[in-house]
Amino acid sequence: MQRSWFAPLVLLGALSVGRGAAAQTPPGGLPAADRAEARRHFQLGVAEYTRGHWAPALAEFQSAYRLAPHPSVRVNMANCYAHLDLPTEAIFHFEQFLTESPTAPDAQITLIETQIGQLRARVGELQITMEPGDAMGLVVTLDGQVIPIGRPAHLMPGHHVVEALGDGYTTVRREVEIVAGHAQVLSLTLERAAPAHRPVVAAVTPPVFATVTPPVVPPTTPPNAMNDPHTDAPRRGPPPAVFYAVAGVTSAAAIGWITAGALAISANSDFDATVDEIHRGVNNNTALRARGRDEAARASQLATWSDVAMGVTLVGAVTSAVLFLKTDFRPRVAVGATASSGGVTLTLRGNF
pLDDT of 239-298, one tens digit each?
A: 888 888 988 999 998 898 899 888 989 888 888 887 777 777 666 677 777 887 888 888
Strand order in the sheet with 158-165: 145-146, 139-142, 158-165, 172-178
CB of 94 within 8 A of CB of 118? no
Average pLDDT, the chain: 77
pLDDT of 291-303, one tens digit each?
A: 878 888 888 888 8
Instruction: Indicate the DSSP class of residue 124.
Output: E
pLDDT of 171-216, one tens digit each?
A: 889 898 888 887 888 888 888 887 766 666 565 565 555 555 555 5
Percent of the chain scoring above 70 in pLDDT: 72
**What are the start-end ranges of the H helices in the chain?**
7-24, 32-50, 54-67, 71-83, 87-100, 106-120, 240-280, 285-326
Output the pTM of the full model: 0.45
CB of 192 within 8 A of CB of 131? no
CATH classification of 124-189 is 3.30.300.30, yes or no? no
Task: Decide the pairing of beta strands 226-227 and 210-212.
Answer: unpaired
Residue 218 has pLDDT above 80, yes or no: no
Q: According to the model, what pLDDT value does residue 196 have? A: 64
96 pLDDT tier (thresholds 50, 70, 90): very high
Cα 169 to Cα 133: distance, rounded to the nearest angstrom: 12
Residues 6+ apart with CB under 8 A from 246: 316, 319, 320, 323
Helix, strand or coil, per DSSP, at residue 163: strand
Cα 42 to Cα 36: distance, rounded to the nearest angstrom: 10
Cα 18 to Cα 297: distance, rounded to the nearest angstrom: 25
Residue 175: other Cβ atoms inside 10 A: 8
Please report, for the chain, the start and end positions of each structural domain, with discontinuous segments joined by +. 7-120, 124-189, 210-232+331-349, 240-326
Residue 34 has pLDDT above 80, yes or no: yes
Cα 247 to Cα 74: distance, rounded to the nearest angstrom: 46
Percent of the chain scoring above 90 in pLDDT: 30
Q: According to the model, what pLDDT value does residue 347 have? A: 45
pLDDT of 102-117, one tens digit each?
A: 999 999 999 999 999 9
Q: According to the model, what pLDDT value does residue 157 have? A: 86
Residues 6+ apart with CB under 8 A from 10: 75, 79, 108, 111, 112, 115
More confident residue, 109 or 225: 109
CB of 71 within 8 A of CB of 96? yes
- For 7-120, the fitting CATH number among 3.40.50.720, 3.40.50.1470, 1.25.40.10, 3.40.50.620 is 1.25.40.10
Q: According to the model, what pLDDT value does residue 243 have? A: 80
More confident residue, 15 or 120: 120
Q: According to the model, what pLDDT value does residue 93 have? A: 96
At residue 8's C-alpha, the angle toward residues 54 and 93, to 5°, is 65
Residues 6+ apart with CB under 8 A from 173: 161, 162, 163
Q: According to the model, what pLDDT value does residue 197 have? A: 62
Buried b (16+ CB within 10 A) or exposed e, 21-51: ebeeeeeeebeeeebeebbebbebbbebbee
Residue 16 has pLDDT above 80, yes or no: no
**CA distance from start to end of the chain:** 69
